[in-house]
Structures are given as structure tokens and as C-alpha cells.
Amino acid sequence: MVGNEGKSFPWNAKIPDGPLEEKWNLFKRNSRLISPNNRKKFKIIVVGTGLSGSAAAATLAEQGYQVSSFCFHESARRAHSIAAQGGVNAAKNYKNDGDSVIRMFRDTLKGGDFRSREANVYRLAECSIPFIDLAVSQGVPFNREYGGYLENRSFGGVQVSRTFYSKGQTGQQLLLGAYQTMMRQVHLGKVQLYTNVELLDYIIIDGHAKGIVVRNLLNGELEKHSAHAIVVASGGFGKIYYLSTLALGCNATAVWRAHKKGALFANPSWTQIHPTSLPQTNSYQSKLTLMSESLRNDGRIWVPKSKDEKRPPAEIPEEERDYYLERKYPSYGNLAPRDISSRAAKERIDLGFGVGPLKNAVYLDFKDAKKTLGEEVLRARYGNLFDMYKKITDVDPLTEPMLISPSAHFSMGGLWVDYELMTNVPGLYAIGEANFADHGANRLGANSLLQASVDGYFILPATLPNYLYDKVDSNLVSTDHPSFKEAEETIQKEIQFYTNANGKKLIDEYHKELGKILYDSCGLKRSKSELESAVKTIQNLRNEFLSGNIRIPSDSFTKNAELEKAGRMKDYLELAELMCLDALLREESCGAHFRIEHQTEDGEAKRDDKNFQFVSCFEWSGDASRPILHREPLSFEFFLPQNRDYQ
């Protein structure tokens, strides 16, 4: 069902030559520079104020650029980065347990099932070391040992302790560090902050990104902004599944509309299902709550061995419990990677061993850790997570096991970018979860905050001059340019379509339907027949939506949440089909993409490196059902692909 396929990959990933450990240094040594006096001549737009967006805006402004920062919240610090809990990785080897940059590189490449670029992954590990020092200098209150040294813990997919954390609030504390750094630049007049606005279109002139059109969410007015370069830092699209760990406002519009203006979309089907979310309890829920993966350091995951078990968990003896992760993956146990842990949980639940009122969960039990470590130590490590769980469920997890379940969480796919974080559209960059760059087919825990941070603080500020250096005398495109007017008219027509519609169906009803289709057919397990069926169902759902069977309040010039949802839903209905088409073409199992036709005898993912060792890059053709596929080949020189064995 994919349209024409490019015969060769026509874009340059710009990976530097030289030894792996020298690539980033060689790049910085040979990259272009812009003098301090000239930086103030450039205007940069940053879309999004999460960890990557705030870090980029603050750093670029500190360097002297004029920065305009946009977010759809009323405050920049409400970005979803604040919800990240467990920690941020860095290969500092503080525990002296054998960690190093090369080990972190290997863990991350293996964790992503050898579906990411070696050079990008090594740079991520390399940049982790100075980032922790930067965060400490900002006042981020990382947990410390008794003597004052920074504390570390482990996350899934690794056998060392490299995760720095601030109880269960690491994302919040890192975002506050980036936010205060950015707000300093706002008060100095170097960053102009626009809140309560949503990006609706990009302006591409002569093939280069030159501006954006946004809608003021308070008064409905369209606003036009031009720039010398645009940075997309809008996060991931996991909320497409409706029930997910993401906030209600998270969406795909900023990345999807960049795609429709020419930016390649890479690996759209690689969406991570997190193993430790609170389970769904009723049909009225609009999101699920994340419980940090860090809990698996001390909690043990199990289900009863009997499908008919009705006793409370405390009354089930040890010999009647199935600690299935410890049984199947003894080397990693409860710290097996997320994709593997989620599939293992779903397998137990689907076979009838699930627990909880809806039989849709497994136990995460701290009984043994409480005996060995004591309640005081556990509360010091996970106190706010325990408090959150008790507030939601009215159960103390130190007296009764947590109920956890897999839930849609993180997008490994996103806008294609080269080594410099620029999309194939010159002047348009994508950072953080908005791009596809570092995680391959599965993200290891605590690498999300790391990637967002280093993209914004270290990488983008070093690569942006390569594009801008010869444009010192280039004037900003006037917002009276015909391209701005054309985009404005297109947006107005779209808004009129929504507000004139006289249907009966709410946007949330479409979202729920779409989410169920994706979770059932393009979630933890996938098959050719189910994916083909999902494509047809999504097409029918999109046709119903576009026929006008939607109900939206008609006022487009005041705060109108349903109107916002409508535009985002249209983008979701196009992206969802691309996700399924990508999953269909990839006749292998790798990381978060598990095709039931391609598994080993013991039920593990079976990769096909001969035919599918590439990044699937899709070009918009004008028809959501016929994207144009391009393949970026992946080559491995420093760490050859191997069986992803965690047993």
C-alpha cells in the first residue's frame, strides 16, 4: 500500500569520518562559526518549551541569537517533560561498577535492537558526562549519598548503575533548571516567549524553512512569524493511542505538519509501550498514570500461577507465584528492557493470569525489599511515587503490591534528521522526542531526558552555525510574503470546515476509536492481517471525520478546546495510517515492533538484518494512503549486530 519507493537514499546524514570516539570532536573542530557580533542578526524560532526546547532557547539566546519561543500552555514550565520520573543516564561510573561511554553506547545500541546510527548513539553517551555537571550547576537537586556524592540507580536493559535521579521527580527538576535558564534570557530581552499559541503551519520558501503560522488559543487570531531557522521541539506522539502516559494536550501536529511541508517522517511505527503504568479501571479514563521504571530496581514483578486465584496477594505463598521476568531473563530479571518486559506482562495477562478488578494488571511487589532495606530507605528512594500511587488507588504499596500494566508511552519515530539534527528541509531542525535520531526500535529508560537535554544544550548550538554561517546578510522574509497569506487562507478554511460541521460525533469519540485500533493492531503485538484490517478501518474513520460528522462549538475566536482537538485529530488520522503501513512493510520483529510471524522458538523478537537494516523514511505524497518510502541504510562498524539476549 506504500506508494513509489525511492531507488536510493538521496539525503546525506552528514556523519563525520574518523574513529567513533573522535567523530563529535572532529565535527566541532571543523564546523563553521559565527562571530558574536553577527549572531544577534539571526532570529531563531523554537517550537516547544519542554526540556529540549527550553534548553535550546536558553543556550542559543546566551550565545547571542534572537530567539522566539512558542508553547500552547499558559506557562512554559507546563511542558510534559515535567512528568518524567525515574532519572537521567550518564556514564560517569560513580559506582565503579564498570560503566563507561563505550558500555553505555553498546547498551543503548543493543537496547534499540541495532536500528539506530552508531555515531548518534555514541555522541549521546559521550555528551551525558558534561550534562550532569551542567544540571548540578543549575541547582538540580539530585539524590545524594550520605557523604554528599551523587547517587545512582539502575534502569532496564543495563547491568550498571548510571541513572542520576531526584526521587521520582527528575523530569520536573530538570525542566525547572532549563526553564529558569530560559526565563533569565526572557527577562534580558533575548528570548521572546509566546504562550497559549499553537503551531498550525510552516512557511517554506525556495525549499528553506522561513516561518510559522500559529493560532492564539485565547482569541482565535492567526499570527505570523518569520525566522532564519526553525527548531521543532514539540515532543512525541504517543497520545495517538488515547490511553497513554502522556498528558491530554500532547499531540502530533507540529511534527506532522512539518512532514506535510516536505520533512521526512522516520520509523513511525516504533512506539514504546511502558511496562509500569497504572492499569485502566473504567471506560471513562482519558489517560493512564506512569509509575517510574526505577521501581523495578527494588520491586519484584509477578502473577499467580493459577488463573483462578482469588486470594489477596499477601496470602499467596511464594511457591504459587510466578516471577516471570526472573524466570525468563535471569541475567536481568525485573530490569529487562521495556519492550521485553511489556510483552511479557501482556502475555501473562492475555493467558488469563492477570490480576486486579479487570484482570488487566500484574503485581509489582516491595515485600522483600522492605525486609532487606527497610521502609525508611524505600521511602527515601521512591517516596513521591508511593504517595502518588496511594493518592490514586488508596493503597499503600509498602503494605500491598502495586497493580501495573503496559501503556503507550514514547515515540522512537519522528522527523528524520541528519547528524546535525536538521531535517531534509534546510533550516528546519527537530530535537528531543520530535526526531527519530538516537533510540532505534526501543528506548532504554532514562535516555529520554538525556537526549532532550543534550540536543538542546550541546548539539543544536554546535550544529546550527553550519547552516547560518553564509546567511549573515540575509533579511527576514516579510510576513506579508504570499506564502504566509496562502498558509493563512488554508488554515482559515480548515477552521471554517470544523466550525460549520453539523455532525453528532465528538472528537474524543474518534480518538478513543483510533486508540483502540492502534493498541490492538499496532501495539505490543502485530500481524499482517490485523495491520491490513487496521489500515482499512482507519481510512473509513478518517473519511467519516472528513465528511463532517463532528460536533464542535462554532466560536473560533475564543478559547475553544474542541476546535484545538479537531485539528490534532485530523493529523492523528493521517499519522495512524502511516504507523500501520510502516509496521506492515517491516517483515521482522525488532524492539517495540513485534510481528507475531517473526519470532524465535522461545517467543523472542526475530530480526532480519539482511533485508531490514535501515531507517524507514516516508515522504508526503499528498495522499495519506500512498506515502513514498525511502530507506536510509544502517551500517555497523564498531559494534556488530548480535542476538539481543537478556537471558
pLDDT in tens, 82-111: 999 999 999 999 999 999 999 999 999 999
Overall average pLDDT of the 235-248 stretch: 96
Overall average pLDDT of the 60-73 stretch: 98
Residue 640 pLDDT > 80, yes or no? yes
pLDDT at position 521: 98
Residue 553 pLDDT > 90, yes or no? no
Query: What percentage of the chain exceeds 90 in pLDDT?
Result: 94
Residue 344 pLDDT > 80, yes or no? yes
The three cell numbers of residue 8 are: 536510493
State the burial class of residue 643 (Cβ atoms within 10 Å of its Cβ: 0-12, 13-18, 19+). exposed
Average pLDDT taken over every residue of the chain: 96
pLDDT in tens, 291-339: 999 999 999 999 999 999 999 999 999 999 999 999 999 999 999 999 9
Q: Place 557 in a pLDDT band, splitting at 50, 70 and 90.
A: confident
Overall average pLDDT of the 196-210 stretch: 98
Half-sphere exposure at residue 341, Cβ-oriented, CA atoms within 13 angstroms: 37
pLDDT at position 2: 73
Overall average pLDDT of the 593-622 stretch: 96
Nearest residue to 437 via CA among 109, 31, 102, 2: 109
pLDDT in tens, 410-451: 999 999 999 999 999 999 999 999 999 999 999 999 999 999
pLDDT in tens, 364-405: 999 999 999 999 999 988 989 999 999 999 999 999 999 999
Asked if 143 contacts 151 with a C-beta cutoff of 8 angstroms, the reply is yes
Rounded distance between C-alpha atoms, residue 235 and residue 588, angstroms:
27
Rounded distance between C-alpha atoms, residue 460 and residue 476, angstroms:
21
Rounded distance between C-alpha atoms, residue 574 and residue 578, angstroms:
7
Residue 313, CA distances (Å) to 303, 348, 371, 462 in order? 9, 16, 17, 54
pLDDT at position 1: 61
- Residue 566 is given by DSSP the state H
Rounded distance between C-alpha atoms, residue 366 and residue 299, angstroms:
5
**3-class DSSP assignment, residue 321:** strand
Rounded distance between C-alpha atoms, residue 86 and residue 169, angstroms:
7
Q: Place 555 in a pLDDT band, splitting at 50, 70 and 90.
A: confident
pLDDT at position 283: 87
Q: Place 500 in a pLDDT band, splitting at 50, 70 and 90.
A: very high
Hunting for cell 493511542 — which residue is that?
241
Secondary structure of 598-639 in the HEC alphabet? CECCCCCECCCHHHHCEEEEEECCCCCCCCEEEEEECCCCCC
Q: Place 592 in a pLDDT band, splitting at 50, 70 and 90.
A: very high
pLDDT at position 36: 96
Helix orientation angle between 561-585 and 507-521, rounded to the nearest 10 degrees: 20
Q: What is the pTM of this model?
A: 0.97
Give the chain's length: 647
Overall average pLDDT of the 56-76 stretch: 97
In sequence order, the β-bridge partners of residue 150 are 144
Asked if 644 contacts 25 with a C-beta cutoff of 8 angstroms, the reply is no
pLDDT at position 248: 93
pLDDT at position 127: 98
Rounded distance between C-alpha atoms, residue 126 and residue 458, angstroms:
11
Query: What percentage of the chain exceeds 70 in pLDDT?
Result: 99
pLDDT at position 587: 98
Hunting for cell 507465584 — which residue is that?
321
Q: Place 74 in a pLDDT band, splitting at 50, 70 and 90.
A: very high
pLDDT at position 280: 94
Within 8 A by CB and 6+ apart from 138, the residues are 177, 178, 180, 181
Residue 3 pLDDT > 70, yes or no? no
Rounded distance between C-alpha atoms, residue 312 and residue 322, angstroms:
15
Overall average pLDDT of the 210-214 stretch: 98
CA angle 126, 235, 298 (to 5 degrees): 65
Asked if 484 contacts 211 with a C-beta cutoff of 8 angstroms, the reply is yes
Asked if 170 contacts 449 with a C-beta cutoff of 8 angstroms, the reply is yes
